Amino acid sequence: MSARLSSARRKLRVVGVTVAAVLLLITGVGISPAAAVSVAPPPKLLGMSITSPAVLHPGDSLTIDFTLSRPADYVTFTVNGVEGPEYLTAKSGPTSGSSPSTGRATLVVGPDQGQLTWSDTYVVGGVSVGYDREYLWSQYDPNAYFYRIADYAADGTCHYNEGGYCLPGYAYGRLTVSVDAPAYRLSDNANLTPPAIVGTPGYGETIGLVDATWAAGKSGRKTYLRDGVEVDHPDWVVEEDIGHDLSVHLESFAEGYRPAGATSAPVTISSPITASPARLTGRAVVGQKVTAAFDESSVAVTPPQPFTVSYKLNYQPATPDQFAHTLVARDAGRKYRFEAMVMATGTPSAQRPFSATTPGIVRYKVAGEGFDAGFTPDMFARDAGGRLLLYPTDGVGRWLPARTVGVGWDVFDLILNVGDFDGDGNGDVIGRDAAGGLFLYPGDGRGDWLPRRQIGWGWNECGAIIPVGDFDADGINDLLCRTTDGRLVFFPGQGDGTFRPVSSYMPNRLRTAAMPGWSNPLIGEGWNSLSHVFSPGDFDGDGRNDVLARDAGGQLLLFRGDGKGGWLSDRATVVGWGWGGMARIGGAGDFDGDGTQDVWAVDGGGRLLVYFGNGRGGWRGSAVVGTGWSGFTSVF
C-alpha cells in the first residue's frame, strides 16, 4: 500500500515529546563549531616535471620544477632506484611567495652519501609538501618547528598529516631519469644457498630458519608465502597455515649490487586435529545479538587420544552459556572473535584453534538502511508532486529498481531516513509537518509501511533534525535537534518509536527541562553557522557514529562522536574543502560494500555523487551515481 497522508493531521494517543517544553530551560555549553579552526587547504600540487637531461652523469644535478597553488616551506620528492637499492630524496627550499607558487628541488649525481651514485634508472615521485610552519616549544631545541605535511601520490590523491583529506592534485604518473656513472656499475648478487624452514612446525611453534648465503652482503627483508602468495605473518605457525604450504623469501641488498632474492622449499603445515569450522552468526552492530557455535562431536584426533575444548570470546575465556551475546559499546571498533581451542592431551600433545570473526568491525547502528530488505543503504526522494520514491541499493554500489512508495508527502517540511527507530529491525521514516508534529512511518522490511503514529509535538522549535543512528551505544537509533537559535540537543530513542527519559543519563551533560522526568543534554551551541549537518555513521573507523557539517566557507567538518551521546574532542577536523557548490549532502551508509561509511552529494547540475570514505576520517575517491536529482524537493 502507499503511505497516503489523508489523515496526516489526525491526533493519535501515543507517547511523544513536546520539544518546546524540553528546550525551555536547557542551559550550558557543549561543542561549538567555532572550535573547528578555519584553516586554508594544503598547497595543491598543480604541476611538476624533470627539467634536467634524461641521462645524467657525475657532476650533473637532477632538477624537478613544480608549481603549487600557494607557498610552502619545502617540497621533497622520493627518488628510488629501479635496479639498485638507492632510496633518496630531492628537497627544495621555500617556494616563491606568490600564488601560484613555484619551486625547484635538486639532487646531485656523485659518489658522496645522499647523492645519486650508481648507474641506474630512477623513479621520481612520492611528493611531500611541508607548509604552514608553526613554532613548537621545546626545552631541548629552541628552533623546533611543526610542519603540516600534504602527501601527493602519482595519481594525484592527497592526504595530510592531521589525518584528513586534501583536494586531489596533479597526477604526475611515472617520472624517470637515468644515471650513467662508468665507475659505479651495478653487479648481480648471486644466491649461494637458499633459505630453508627447519622441520615441520605445528600450530603455535616458532618457524626455525636456515639463513641464505650470498656472494655479497647478507639477508635483509623477510616475507612469508602461503601457497606461493605473500602474507603478513609472524615468526610462528598460525591457524590459517594449517593445511597449506608455507615458505619464506629472503632478500639481499648490498651496495653496488642489484637486489637479489631466494625462496625456501615449501613445507606443508598439518595438524593431527580436525573438526567442523567454528561459526559466528549475527550482525556486527551494537545492540544486535551474535551467536557462536562449535560442534565438539566433530573433533577427531589422529592417532585417537583424549582432548579438551576451551573457548574465548573476544580473547576472553568463555563458556557455552555465553555463546549468545548482545554486542555492547566495549565491543565496538574491532572485529568480534570466537575461538574454540582443541587440546589433545595424549602423547604427543597438540593444539589447534577453530575461530570465526565478524566480517567487519562492530559498529553502532546507522540511519538509512534496511527499509526494503536486509541492511543495505536506501535513499528516498520527494518530487514536486509530493510523491515519495525509494531508491534501494544492492549493497555493492549498484541501484535496484526505484519505485513510488507514497503520495501526498508534500505536507511535511522535513522528512528523515532514520533507520530502525521502533526496534523491529526494519528501516523507518519520520516526517514533520508545518505545525511541528512528528510522525513515525514504520517500514515493514519489504519496502512498504506499517500504520503510522505521531511521536512528537512542537518540533518546529528545531531548525534541523539530524538522524545520527545509535549515538550513545545502547543499540537504539537516536536524533539530534538543532534549535532555531543554534543549540544542539540530543534525543535518545527508546527502541519503540518514542524517546527515552534521561533524568539519570550522562550526569556530566544533563540540563534541566520543564517537562517532568525529562532532561535532555545540550551537546553544542552555535550550530546555526553550519549547513547540511548529518551523520555518515562511523566515519573515522573507531566504531562510534560521527557527525559531518558544512561551514559557510565550504569546508566539511568532522565531529567525532564518543559513543556516549557526546564528542571525543572539543575540536572538529576539516576533512574537505570546496563543498560550497553542493546543493544537498547526506550520509550514504556503506554504499559500495567495502565496510566503510560514505557520503552522497547533489551538485549544482543535479548530479548525484558518492564520496567513498576510507574508514580513517578521509576519502578514497568519488563517483557519479545518478543525474537529474535537482528536480526533487527533498533527498534523504
What CATH number has the domain bearing residue 242? 2.60.40
Q: What is the mean pLDDT of residues 445-449?
A: 89
Structural domain total, the chain: 4
Query: What average pLDDT does range 205-218 have in this prediction?
Result: 96
107 occurs within a structural domain: yes
Q: Where are the beta strands (DSSP E) in 323-398?
A: 324-326, 337-344, 350-357, 378-382, 388-392
Residue 347 within a domain: yes
**601 is a domain residue:** yes
Instruction: Identify the helix (H) or strand (E) that includes residue 546.
Output: strand 546-550
pLDDT at 175: 95
Residues of the domain holding 66: 45-179
Phi, psi torsion values for 509, nearest 5 degrees? -125, 10
- What totals of helices (H) and strands (E) does the chain contain, helices first? 1, 49
Q: How do residues 125-176 score in pLDDT, each as one tens digit? A: 899 999 888 765 555 566 667 788 889 999 888 877 654 556 678 999 999 9
Helix (H, G, I), strand (E, B) or coil at 573: strand
The verdict on 72 and 172 lying in the same domain is yes
Strands (E) across 136-206 are located at 145-152, 158-160, 175-179, 191-193, 196-197
pLDDT at residue 519 tops 60: no
Is 2 a domain residue? no
Query: Stretch 572-579: mean pLDDT, rounded?
Result: 86
In a domain, 162, yes or no: yes
Mean pLDDT over 437-463 rounds to 92
Query: CA 220, CA 247: separation in Å to the nearest integer?
Result: 16
Decide which of 262 and 286 is more confident: 262
Q: Of 160, 82, 165, 162, whose CA–CA distance to 127 is shortest?
A: 160
pLDDT value, residue 42? 84
- Domain end position, chosen among 215, 237, 269: 269
Q: Closest Cα to residue 601, out of 627, 582, 614?
A: 582
Asked if residue 463 and residue 391 are part of one domain, the reply reads: yes
Tell me the pLDDT band of 492, cut-offs 50, 70 and 90.
very high
Average pLDDT, the chain: 87
Q: Is the pLDDT reported for residue 34 higher than 80?
A: no
Looking at residue 31, what DSSP letter applies?
A: B
Interval 100-118 mean pLDDT? 95
600 belongs to a structural domain: yes
pLDDT at 527 over 50: yes
Assess whether pLDDT exceeds 70 at residue 516.
no
Q: What are phi and psi of 459, to 5 degrees?
A: -80, 5
594 plus 464 within the same structural domain: yes
Three cell numbers written together for 216: 655479497
Asked which of 269, 304, 333 is the last residue of a domain, the reply is 269
Rounded to an integer, the average pLDDT of 348-353 is: 92
pLDDT above 60 for 628: yes
For residues 247 and 291, state if they share a domain: no
Check whether residue 540 and residue 408 sit in a common domain.
yes
Domain match, 147 and 117 both: yes
Judge if 384 and 312 occupy the same domain. no
**% pLDDT > 70, the chain:** 88
Domain-ending residue, one of 269, 299, 326: 269
Q: Which residues of 306-345 are buried (b: 16+ CB within 10 A; e: fewer)?
A: ebeeebbbbeeebeeeebebebebebbbbebbbbbebebe
Does 424 share its domain with 529? yes
Same domain, 482 and 355: no
Which of these ranges, 99-113, 153-167, 170-184, 351-365, has the smallest mean pLDDT?
153-167
Task: Spell out where 188-332 has E strands.
Answer: 191-193, 196-197, 209-210, 213-214, 219-226, 229-231, 245-252, 260-263, 267-268, 273-274, 279-281, 289-293, 300-301, 307-313, 316-318, 324-326
Mean pLDDT over 475-484 rounds to 92
3-class state of residue 241 by DSSP: helix
Mean pLDDT of 436-456: 93
Residue 24: pLDDT over 90: no
pLDDT score, position 19: 46
Q: CA dist 375 to 288, 365, 450, 462, Å?
A: 13, 11, 18, 29
In a shared domain, residues 134 and 262: no
Measured from the Cβ of residue 471, the count of other Cβ atoms closer than 10 Å reads 31
Residue 506 forms part of a structural domain? no
pLDDT band of residue 68 (cuts 50, 70, 90) is very high
* Window from 22-26, 60-64, 181-185, 245-249 with minimum mean pLDDT: 22-26
pLDDT at 520: 60
Q: Is residue 37 assigned to a domain?
A: no
- Render pLDDT for 399-417 as a digit per residue (tens, 0 to 9): 999 999 999 999 999 999 9
Asked if residue 199 and residue 164 are part of one domain, the reply reads no
Region 255-277: what's the mean pLDDT?
96
In the 3-class helix/strand/coil scheme, how is 93-143 assigned residue by residue? CCCCCCCCEEEEEEEEECCCCCCECCCEEEEEEEEEEEEEEEECCCCCCCC
69 and 196, same structural domain? no
Pairing of strands 453-457, 17-18: parallel
